[in-house]
Every structure is written in C-alpha cells, then in structure tokens.
C-alpha cells in the first residue's frame, strides 16, 4: 500500500516559526512506537526553527485519552497547534474500533472547537511491525509528517 511520505521534505527554518508554540500529546500505549513518533515530530519542529522551549510535551495513558489531552492544551491561549501521537494495534476484539473512532472524532472536534490545528498522528495498524515501519522504519515516520502537517496548517508553507 502506498504511504504518503512527507518525511523527506527539505528542512528550512522559517522565521515566523520561532514565535509559534506547539503541544505534543503522546499516548503511553505501545510506547516503543509512540516514542519514535515523538522523536520524529520533535526533531522536525526543531529542524524548521521551533525553539526547544516552544515545544511542550504531555503524556496520556492511551490513545482514547488523546482528545482530552489535546483539549487541555488547545484551550491554552499561548499554544498555536497541538500534535496528537498514538498507536492503536488491531486486536481480537472490537476495542480497536471504539478507540480509533473516538479519538478521530475527538481530535477533530477539539480542532474545530478551538479553531486551531489539532493533528491526528495516530497509527492504526494490524501489527506491531506495520507500526514500526511507520515510526522511523521503511515507510518513514508519521511523527515527522504530523509535525509538517501542523506547520502547514499554520500557513508556514503557503506562498
């Protein structure tokens, strides 16, 4: 399956990004994957010129909690964009569907409620290997892509 891979975009510093503040909300479930997503997102923001102290990390227990974690951060006036990172792996029960649907809807609603970019950086693979392939593996790093998406939504890539 083709995977859109933005990881290879040329990193350039944008002066205006030095003033932007990003929250990254990270799910602790499947943490070998979500830590890799976080590293990718953090490094991409840094590569584009976001200062270290303008990147605020918060953890939540699982992906289901990402929406509320995102809301806590999006309601802060000094946060310009929120990046949500999680990994829900298909299991034998319907838990997967409930979590994926809830977090997709929840994150969408937070962005609309606060009129800010709230980025869906949640992997929903069938297997752990598929997740690792997308967290710094052969399909790139979706954490990088989530950071690029946040920057795009702030207008930094528009001409």
DSSP letter string over 52-107? GGGEEEEEESSGGGHHHHHHHHHTSTT--EEEEEEE----SSTHHHHHHHHHHHHH
Interacting residue ranges for ligand DLZ, rule: CB under 6 A: 27, 29-30, 61-65, 86-89, 91, 95, 99
Catalytic one of 12, 19, 58, 95:
95
Smallest separation (angstroms) from ligand DLZ to the CB of 67? 10
Residue 82 β-bridge partners: 23, 118
54: annotated active-site residue: no
Of all residues in this chain, which one has the CB nearest to ligand DLZ in the complex?
62
Closest CB to ligand DLZ among residues 51, 61: 61
Closest CB to ligand DLZ among residues 29, 157: 29
Smallest separation (angstroms) from ligand DLZ to the CB of 134? 14
Q: Give the integer Cα–Cα distance in Å for 75 and 144.
A: 24
Q: Could you tell me if 7 and 41 are in contact, meaning their C-beta atoms sit under 8 angstroms apart?
A: no
Catalytic residues: 95
């Amino acid at each position: 399956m083709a995977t859109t891979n933005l990881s290879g975009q040329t990193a350039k510093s944008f002066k205006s990004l030095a003033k932007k503040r990003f929250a990254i909300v990270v799910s602790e479930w499947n943490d070998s994957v979500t830590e890799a997503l976080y590293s990718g997102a953090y490094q991409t923001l840094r590569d584009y010129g976001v200062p270290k102290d303008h990147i605020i990390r918060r953890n939540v227990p699982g992906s289901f909690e990402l929406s509320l974690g995102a809301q806590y951060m999006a309601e802060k006036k000094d946060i310009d964009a929120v990046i949500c990172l999680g990994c829900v792996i298909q299991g034998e029960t319907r838990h997967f569907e409930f979590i994926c649907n809830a977090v997709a809807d929840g994150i969408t609603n937070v962005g609309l409620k606060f009129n800010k970019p709230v980025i869906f950086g949640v992997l929903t693979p069938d297997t752990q290997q598929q997740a690792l392939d997308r967290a710094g593996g052969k399909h790139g790093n979706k954490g990088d892509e989530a950071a690029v998406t946040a920057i795009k939504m702030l207008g930094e890539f528009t001409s």
